[in-house]
Structure 1
Amino acid sequence: MIHLFNHYGTHIDGPLHFNPNGSSLDHLALNHFLYEKPFLMDVPKQPGQKIEPHDLEEKATYISQADLLLIRTGFWKIRESSPDVYEKNGPAVSSCCAQYLRDRFPNLKAIALDFVSLASYSDTTDGDLSHQHMLGMYKNGFICIIEDVNMKNIPSGFLKKAAAIPLFLEGIDSSPVTMWAEF
């Protein structure tokens, strides 16, 4: 038996996470975790601030070509100096932004974030809605969410390729991942 918390290191949320009708990670095709056109963009944010659609619009042309969107807020810098703030009051992706990503970018298989969760514990209501939009509760299809990713030394722009391989355990909704990127 293996028991892991959802937010244990770099991890991926699949469709079943926040969507009772979604697929578990072990039912997704392997190619859903392999990315041929990853794009990394910087969106600086402070504790509790949300990523909104206007933060992404300037790079929308690039995002539309990507299959993985990596968003680097710089929040990783406080991981060691303020672990409580890092864990409990990180940035978040607003529910409006989650819906924007789902509606505008059909090529995205996943987004990756340099903070603990798509949702900030400072606003769990909007965070739950963000997860539901991303993971297909209100519209067919989904965008997986890769959280707590170290993007420290990766250049902005398109990367050559990337992968985020979860543990393939039966019925699992989220899992730690082995993640790498080539740039």
Structure 2
Amino acid sequence: MRLRISYPITADAPGWPGNEVYEVERVRSVAKGDVNNSGLFRMHEHYGTHMDAPKHFNDRGPCIAELPFDYFFYQAPLLLDIPKGSFENIEPADLKPHEEHIAAADFLMIRTGFGRFRNTEPKKYQMESPAISAAGCEYLVRTFGGTLKTVCLDVQSLGNASDTSGDGVEAHRWMLGSYTDAFICVIEDANLQDVPACGLRAAGSVPLMTTGTDSGPVTAWVEFD
């Protein structure tokens, strides 16, 4: 079976504060006498379920369209349930007990449970989401950077939108290869609520192959027995 874990792109998604939201402009309409239906859409590249590619924080790193196409397909997905509440961080101590399993994975989904607030309390989801600390990201990259391709989160961002300490910036820099030769891409704002804890076989996260952008929205899914 396949389960889509990317949210539909809608105008009311709780994106990063200040970023442009999704807008659609109808250019032609059959109902109005045109020969077809067509239109334009506009959105921030970090809106909805999207992948942060290395170029987002690392100017030496590849943008999303420069990653090999095989990069977006995963043969060893892993789901970790690490419950976290408002403003809490995922630290190395949360990850180290799972080290053996992460070492065998190429796609790591971390389910904090905070995704349950996305539709019911979008402001809470936007401003209070848990995060992975810079120390947690350093641990992931230094330990698994050669094999783990992508980390997928059920929170608004790798770093909390309300953070003023700079830890979220450092978290992104560590994960996206600013300090090492290795990098791990990040999928933010994913829907992991119904992902099964076992029986995962494969996963994918295909982006729009847009040039001139560092990152972009993805259609992501998991396959399971």
What is the TM-score of this pair, normalised by structure 1?
A: 0.95
Residue 107, structure 1, aligned to residue 158, structure 2: no
Q: What per-residue deviation string (whole Å, max 9, x for no partner) do you get for residues 135-162 of structure 1?
A: 0001012100001111111112462000
Q: Aligned to 2:169, what secondary structure does the other structure show?
A: helix
Q: From the CA coordinates, give the structure whose radius of gyration is larger.
A: 2
Assess, with a 3 A threshold, how the Cα gap between structure 1 residues 97 and 6 changes in structure 2: closer, same or farther.
same
Give the match for residue 154 of structure 1. Answer: 195
Q: What per-residue deviation string (whole Å, max 9, x for no partner) do you get for residues 17-53 of structure 1?
A: 0111111111110111110001001000001100001
Q: Aligned to 1:77, what secondary structure does the other structure show?
A: helix
AA aligned to 1:27 is: E
Q: What per-residue deviation string (whole Å, max 9, x for no partner) do you get for residues 47-93 of structure 1?
A: 11000011111111000000011000000111122111101110001
AA aligned to 1:136 is: G
> Could you say what the CA RMSD is over the residues aligned between the two structures, in angstroms?
1.3
Unpaired runs of at least 5, structure 2: 1-39
Bigger RCO (CA 8 Å, 6+ sep)? 1
Q: CA deviation at 1:2?
A: 5.8
Contact kept? 1:71, 1:112, Cα under 8 Å:
yes
Q: CA deviation at 1:6?
A: 3.6
Q: For the residues of structure 1 that align with 2:212 and 2:219, how far apart are their CA atoms?
A: 19
Residue 86, structure 1, aligned to residue 119, structure 2: no
Give the match for residue 181 of structure 1. Answer: 222
Q: For the residues of structure 2 that align with 1:150 and 1:160, how far apart are their CA atoms?
A: 18
Q: For the residues of structure 1 that align with 2:41 and 2:122, how far apart are their CA atoms?
A: 26
Q: 1:137 aligns with which of 175, 178, 195?
A: 178
AA aligned to 2:117 is: I
Q: For the residues of structure 2 that align with 1:118 and 1:82, how far apart are their CA atoms?
A: 19
Contact kept? 1:72, 1:151, Cα under 8 Å:
yes
Residue 70, structure 1, aligned to residue 70, structure 2: no
Q: CA deviation at 1:3?
A: 3.6
Q: Aligned to 1:76, what secondary structure does the other structure show?
A: helix
Q: 1:13 aligns with which of 33, 45, 52?
A: 52
Q: For the residues of structure 2 that align with 1:17 and 1:123, how far apart are their CA atoms?
A: 18
AA aligned to 1:28 is: L
Give the match for residue 31 of structure 2. Answer: none
Residue 55, structure 1, aligned to residue 94, structure 2: yes
Unpaired runs of at least 5, structure 1: none
Count of residue pairs brought into register by the alignment: 183
Q: For the residues of structure 2 that align with 1:7 and 1:90, how far apart are their CA atoms?
A: 16
Q: Aligned to 2:151, what secondary structure does the other structure show?
A: strand
Assess, with a 3 A threshold, how the Cα gap between structure 1 residues 49 and 11 changes in structure 2: closer, same or farther.
same
User: What fraction of aligned residue pairs are identical, expressed as a percent?
Assistant: 43
Q: For the residues of structure 2 that align with 1:141 and 1:157, how far apart are their CA atoms?
A: 28
Which stretch of structure 1 is more off in the superposition, 118-127 or 56-65?
Answer: 118-127
AA aligned to 1:108 is: L
